[in-house]
Amino acid sequence: MSRLDQTNDKSIAALPWWRGASIYQIYPRSFMDSNGDGIGDLPGITQKLDHVASLGVDAIWVSPFFTSPMKDFGYDVADYCGVDPIFGTLEDFDALIERAHALDLKVLIDQVYSHTSDEHPWFTESRSSKHNDKADWYVWADAKPDGSPPTNWQSVFGGPSWTWDARRGQYYLHNFLSSQPQINGHNPDVQNALLDVARFWLDRGVDGFRIDALNFMMHDPQLRDNPPAPATNKQKTRPFDFQLRIHNQSHPDIPDFIARIRDVTDQYDAIFTVAEVGGDEAEAEMKAFTADGTHLNSAYGFNFLYADALTPGLICAAQAEWPDQADIGWPSWAFENHDAPRALSRWCAPGHRAAFARMKMLLLASLRGNAILYYGEELGLTQVDIPFDQLHDPEAIANWPLTLSRDGARTPMPWSADANHGGFTEGEPWLPVGALNQSAAVDQQESDQTSLLNYTRAVLALRNATPALRHGSVQRCKHEGDLLEMTREAGGQKVRCLFNMGPHEVEADPDDSRAILFATDGSSPSKLGPYGAVLIEETPCA
């Protein structure tokens, strides 16, 4: 392995902390339970931050812990500025912030601006009459003359996206569950209230936000029907899939509100914002949401999260969408998260998981953009098969058995292979740990220098010490068969990345004379083993 001297390039030294950062997503219900009730909590996260810091990541992203009836497990917020009692208290969150910062970890939290819970006081007031201070804070509309909903829009979770409310004598819009009414993002008072929420958490010391479902924040005020989606070979499992969603989401005024978010975050030091953007026009929206240095810092889409296979062509296509240009934003990438099945279960056969997990981790660290790791990804956790009678996920219950349960990717973190429930809780866990995942527990991998856990630490240390990988441009990305070749460059350093993304050995580059920066077992620049990889430092750091 060649020397990994930091470049003296002043332009790289001046980059903000988040550019090229590695971010570790924590799903609070499943990370660590401190009080034995079977549900993870904020003190549990604080207890285990040493483990997170040991990976070499720059930040944690904590999924919602706000006051909520938990019909969508925190993404139905009843109080934006409160901590749900199952997770702890505001004082517990302050302690988490303090400990994370002591470990040099930044803290990002979710902000859910497109909808609230139907138990939020804003909605309680809004639905009480057509004439109150918050009557226009949500999307209300009269029925059609025949009593049917105002439009043909469909909910992500199945069925019409309108629910009748007898108190108002109108329908209200919800793009997700009927218990998640859509806020009226066009209303300036709503925008001001949401910006006040951002200030509340920034004042408590958070270092940034991941903004959920941001492209759903504004609807078409003309209430035009969505057109049908053209026929494809992709299976349609929900009514939502039968439409082009051009009127219930992705309104062109959303970037104007994003600019207001940026105005607020610029008043605080080194704040990072990243938007979740899905849908048919995700790339265009991601660029609009991160444009010109006056909007969000980054966005991540669904290039990989729902892909049936991880292929060289998919990688090159994703990298090509984000060229190194001043007017183009900075991407963030995730192979796994709380909404998508575990990648090892989606992308490779069980017999190849050990090699594939290493290749996948090195690939994530080699992409231009931020690398987002989902809790347990460093252990190689797989999707747990949750039987129907143990499901909690409303989407999986509604669409059973045609969609893989999100619960299977939200199972508890295994800390100890020999402890009950993997050491996650002393009580009965809200979801089963899964026998295979328990055998991959932290304590089993900690002392094994060949484990995926220790490999992940080495990969992130490599990324952090190699400017071309952390900050650099993509000079070339090409593929042939299962072979991916990508060249990253920054500050006079050039790193050539070779990945075999298939289960059979492949010939690569016969030139062995250049310095090998990093290689998986059994791989060299001339020959890559099954799911093997080699990084070559073509131009050493100055």
* Average pLDDT across the chain, whole number: 93
State the catalytic residues: 212, 276
Q: Is pLDDT above 80 for 2?
A: no
Domain assignment of residue 502, yes or no: no
Q: SS3 of 8, please?
A: coil
Q: Is pLDDT above 50 for 7?
A: no
SS3 content of the chain, % helix, strand, coil (to 5): 30, 20, 50
Question: What pLDDT band is residue 285 in, cutting at 50, 70 and 90?
Answer: very high
- Which CATH number characterizes residue 154's domain? 3.90.400.10
Domain assignment of residue 236, yes or no: yes
> 49 lies in which domain range?
20-116+187-219+249-462
For residues 214 and 226, state if they share a domain. Answer: no
* 39-52 pLDDT, tens digit each: 999 999 999 999 99
What's the mean pLDDT in 280-293? 90
Q: Is pLDDT above 70 for 10?
A: no
Q: Is pLDDT above 50 for 237?
A: yes
Domain assignment of residue 509, yes or no: no
* Cβ-based neighbour number of residue 307 at 10 Å: 16
What's the mean pLDDT in 130-156? 97
Q: Tell me which of 430, 462, 494 is where a domain ends.
A: 462
What's the mean pLDDT in 226-255? 92
What's the mean pLDDT in 492-517? 87
For residues 157 and 259, state if they share a domain. Answer: no
Domain assignment of residue 471, yes or no: no
For residues 133 and 90, state if they share a domain. Answer: no
Q: Which two tokens stand for residue 192?
A: 């001001």
Sign of CA dihedral 450, 452, 457, 463: positive
Q: Which two tokens stand for residue 313?
A: 């062509």
Would you state the pLDDT for residue 368? Answer: 97
* 385-405 pLDDT, tens digit each: 988 888 888 878 777 776 667
Would you state the pLDDT for residue 24? Answer: 98
Would you state the pLDDT for residue 512? Answer: 55
Domain assignment of residue 5, yes or no: no
- Which CATH number characterizes residue 454's domain? 3.20.20.80
Query: Considering the chain, what percentage of its residues have pLDDT values greater than 70?
Result: 95
Would you state the pLDDT for residue 157? Answer: 87
Would you state the pLDDT for residue 5? Answer: 45
* 359-375 pLDDT, tens digit each: 999 999 999 999 999 99
**Spatial distance between the Cα atoms of 208 and 205, rounded to a whole number of angstroms:** 9
Question: What pLDDT band is residue 6 in, cutting at 50, 70 and 90?
Answer: very low
* Contact (CB, 8 A) for 505 and 528: yes
For residues 198 and 328, state if they share a domain. Answer: yes
**Spatial distance between the Cα atoms of 215 and 228, rounded to a whole number of angstroms:** 20
Would you state the pLDDT for residue 393? Answer: 84
Q: Tell me which of 411, 446, 462 is where a domain ends.
A: 462
Closest of 181, 93, 75, 107 to residue 137, by C-alpha: 181
* Contact (CB, 8 A) for 515 and 540: yes
For residues 297 and 419, state if they share a domain. Answer: yes
Of 167-181, 429-443, 519-533, the range with the lowest mean pLDDT is: 519-533
For residues 155 and 235, state if they share a domain. Answer: yes
Of 62-71, 94-103, 214-223, 386-395, the range with the lowest mean pLDDT is: 386-395
Would you state the pLDDT for residue 511? Answer: 63
**Spatial distance between the Cα atoms of 400 and 519, rounded to a whole number of angstroms:** 42
Would you state the pLDDT for residue 510? Answer: 66
* 325-372 pLDDT, tens digit each: 888 899 999 999 999 999 999 999 999 999 999 999 999 999 999 999
Question: What pLDDT band is residue 3 in, cutting at 50, 70 and 90?
Answer: very low
Q: Which two tokens stand for residue 518?
A: 């990093």
For residues 227 and 371, state if they share a domain. Answer: no
Q: Tell me which of 431, 462, 493 is where a domain ends.
A: 462
Domain assignment of residue 112, yes or no: yes
Would you state the pLDDT for residue 270? Answer: 85
Question: What pLDDT band is residue 8 in, cutting at 50, 70 and 90?
Answer: very low
Domain assignment of residue 511, yes or no: no
What's the mean pLDDT in 23-44? 98
pTM of the shown model: 0.95
Would you state the pLDDT for residue 174? Answer: 98
For residues 160 and 67, state if they share a domain. Answer: no
What's the mean pLDDT in 100-114? 98
For residues 238 and 366, state if they share a domain. Answer: no
Would you state the pLDDT for residue 4? Answer: 43
Q: Give the strand pairing for 162-165 and 272-276.
A: unpaired
Q: Is pLDDT above 50 for 491?
A: yes
More confident residue, 158 or 35: 35
What's the mean pLDDT in 121-142? 98
For residues 296 and 243, state if they share a domain. Answer: no
Domain assignment of residue 7, yes or no: no
Q: How many domains does the chain have?
A: 2
For residues 152 and 212, state if they share a domain. Answer: no
What's the mean pLDDT in 1-17? 60
For residues 194 and 212, state if they share a domain. Answer: yes
